[in-house]
Amino acid sequence: MSKEKERKVYVVGHKNPDTDSICSAIAYAALKTKVTGQTYEARRAGQLNEETQYVLERFGVKAPRLLSDLREQIKDVELKEVEGLKSSISIRTAWEKMREYNIHTLPVTRNGKLEGLITIGDIAKTYMDVYDSTILAKARTQYRNIARAVDGEILTGNGHSYLSNGKVVIAASSKILMSDFISKDDLVIMGDRKDAQQCAVDMDAGCMVVCQNAPVSERIIRQAEEKQIVIIRTRHDTFTAAQHINQSIPVKYFMTRENLVTFKMKDYVDDAKEVMAKKRFRDFPILDNKGRFVGLLSRRRLLNAKKKRVILVDHNEKSQAVDGIDEADVLEIIDHHRLGQSIETMGPVFFRNQPVGCTATIVYQMYQEECILVEPVHAALLCSAIISDTLMFRSPTCTPLDEQAARALAKIAGIEIESLAQEMFNAGSNLKGKSAEEICFLDFKQFTVNDTVFGVGQVNSMSADELKEIKDIVEPHLEKARKGHGLNMIFFMLTNIITESSELLCCGPEAREKILNAFDLPDDAEQIMLKGVVSRKKQLVPTLVSSLQQ
């Protein structure tokens, strides 16, 4: 399976999602997954309202996860997958790994967690900046690392033990002079001189590195074993052995531990670019949400970040879409609203817009067109969406197609429409414990006409008393909400499902005048009562837009 095919596609509705945008996303994601075999995942663009929560809970469906931003994230970038090194391995091994991976930085990990980073620059320091003959002991260097650094073999002694005391010396002088500068536990580099080998044993050296594959007598080996001296034999001459021996130092001695610049998989690419621009590093470690090392990210790889792929349902206006929509790859739009300031796409997309009362009706049509049976749980969700959007067929947006679809879906799901509608509307108007701000934006859409940006919220209820309570909470808050969200005007519909009418609350300069003019109401009207107006989409917004355009 190709990388492209493995990438999931998000199916998402508008901000301040209603029952239609959530249920249609869930059912359409299931349809697309069945048809294509790829992964389509329903998401939500905001908090669920009470009605939608009730529907999902009633039919045992888990709420989709939140998708708040469509900008590219680190998880959309192909990382350099590199295995973490143990802090005890030698810088020689680290160098070999860098050459193998063609990389300048390696992570040092322990149980998957990042401990530090080792770079080519750190390794260069071991050659350019180290003048300390005791550095191998200070770094607690393992004897097997020393053997590997000089391409040698251990003739005797414990390769897993450490050089923890002493210095590195080269036995190039006479035995008398050697005894003056060789101390207990030193590492002595020597050739084939038997007197030098014997002197090192006599002085209780910690390790003997015998060069040019020189012979070591059984007597010397036996004495070394008794004193627990490690003997390493290498084919290199003393110059080469001395030059390479610092490569045995463990990476933990030179690695960077403090002030590591790391990113999480959920971090946004734009934010990462900003941080990277201020740092001189070539590669940056990436961690998962549990702090485990995942891979390395370079500036070059950021250029190849894959755009998030998304299908939009129940909206087509940019102001209602998830943040970052401009940076996403929009594959399809399935909607039943007016065409407003539509989303721009890089290429042509599948766009389906029908004058019906609900997106769920279109989704049901698409199931039929693909000859795929709707599962009972998805039928229940789609039926609920149609009930919600059409106010159980009372809204002027409702078409015969909506009612036919709802009744067919109810049959598949085994539900009774009238009782479900009653329970849904009761749940939707039960706003106890919610703040004025929360109620304002439970079911809210934003629109732009010329230079005017306005929003319309709506609450539906079967109880006039309940609508009066909601009005008392919301009305004093509208001006604050308008300013807080940078809107020119706010309108709030208190819709009575039984009387099929709405009281309209207005806020903002000229908001009241525009509505009075649009619906030809008297200037001295105390309340703005719109009889027969229950649909934001088909009745309020088109009339208001027409008035604003004039």
Count Cα atoms within 13 angstroms, Cβ side, for 64: 30
Q: Which of 27, 36, 34 is nearest to 4 (CA)?
A: 36
Output the pLDDT for position 258: 86
**SS3 call for 99:** helix
Q: Which of 144, 186, 151 is nearest to 169 (CA)?
A: 186
Q: Which of 177, 236, 176 is nearest to 209 (CA)?
A: 236
Instruction: Say which residue, 71 or 2, is predicted with more confidence.
Output: 71
Tell me how many degrees the CA angle 344-345-346 measures, rounded to the nearest 5. Answer: 130
H-run or E-run covering 378: helix 376-389
How do residues 158-200 score in pLDDT, each as one tens digit? Answer: 999 999 888 999 887 666 567 777 889 999 999 888 888 999 9
Count Cα atoms within 13 angstroms, Cβ side, for 362: 22
Mean per-residue pLDDT, 362-374 = 98
- Tokens 């819709």 belong to residue: 495
Output the pLDDT for position 484: 95
H-run or E-run covering 124: helix 120-128
Q: Return the domain boundaries, the chain.
A: 3-72+307-428, 91-253, 436-549
Output the pLDDT for position 455: 95
Output the pLDDT for position 3: 44
H-run or E-run covering 136: helix 135-138
Asked if pLDDT for residue 340 goes beyond 80, the answer is no
Alpha helices by DSSP H, listed for 156-205, are 175-181, 194-202
How do residues 524-534 score in pLDDT, each as one tens digit? Answer: 888 999 999 99
Q: Which pLDDT band, with edges at 50, 70 and 90, does 2 fall under?
A: very low
Asked if pLDDT for residue 21 goes beyond 90, the answer is yes
Q: What is the mean pLDDT of the chain?
A: 90
Exposed e or buried b per residue across 401-424, where buried means at least 16 C-beta atoms within 10 angstroms of its C-beta: bbbebbebbbebbebebeebbeeb
Output the pLDDT for position 176: 56
Domains 3-72+307-428 and 436-549 share a fold: no
% residues pLDDT > 90 (the chain)? 63
Amino acid at the residue 441: F
Cα separation, 86 vs 446, whole angstroms: 55
Q: Which of 12, 4, 7, 111 is nearest to 310 (CA)?
A: 12
- Tokens 């002197």 belong to residue: 199
**SS3 call for 2:** coil
- Tokens 């463990």 belong to residue: 250
DSSP secondary structure, 468-523, as one string: HHHHHHHGGGHHHHHHHTT-SEEEEEEEETTTTEEEEEEESTTHHHHHHHHTT--T
Counting every residue written for the chain, the total comes to 550
Cα distances (angstroms) measured from residue 407 to each of 26, 155, 361:
20, 87, 11
CA dihedral 230, 234, 239, 243 (to 10 degrees): -70
Threshold 0.85, pTM exceeds = no
DSSP secondary structure, 178-191, as one string: HHHH--TT-EEEE-
Asked if pLDDT for residue 467 goes beyond 70, the answer is yes
Output the pLDDT for position 378: 98
Q: Which pLDDT band, with edges at 50, 70 and 90, does 278 fall under?
A: confident
Cα separation, 293 vs 93, whole angstroms: 20
The CATH label, of 3.10.129.10, 3.40.1390.20, 3.10.290.10, 3.40.50.1370, for the domain at 91-253 is: 3.40.1390.20
HEC per residue, 243-288: HHHHHHCEHHHCCECCCCCCEECCCEHHHHHHHHHCCCCCEEEEEC
HEC per residue, 428-471: HHCCCCCCHHHHHCCCEEEEEECCEEEEEEEEEECCHHHHHHHH
For residue 134, the Cα-to-chain-centroid distance in whole angstroms is 47
Cα separation, 344 vs 245, whole angstroms: 62
DSSP lists the bridge partners of residue 492 as 457, 505
Amino acid at the residue 109: T
| Mode of pairing for the β-strands spanning 230-234 and 207-210 | parallel
Cα separation, 350 vs 334, whole angstroms: 8
Cα separation, 65 vs 44, whole angstroms: 6
Could you tell me the two tokens for 187?
């590492």
| Phi, psi dihedrals of residue 392, rounded to the nearest 5° | 50, 55
Mean per-residue pLDDT, 197-214 = 93
CATH class, 436-549 region: alpha beta
**SS3 call for 137:** helix
Q: Assign a CATH topology to domain 3-72+307-428.
A: inorganic pyrophosphatase (n-terminal core) (3.90.1640)
DSSP state of 76: G
Output the pLDDT for position 173: 62
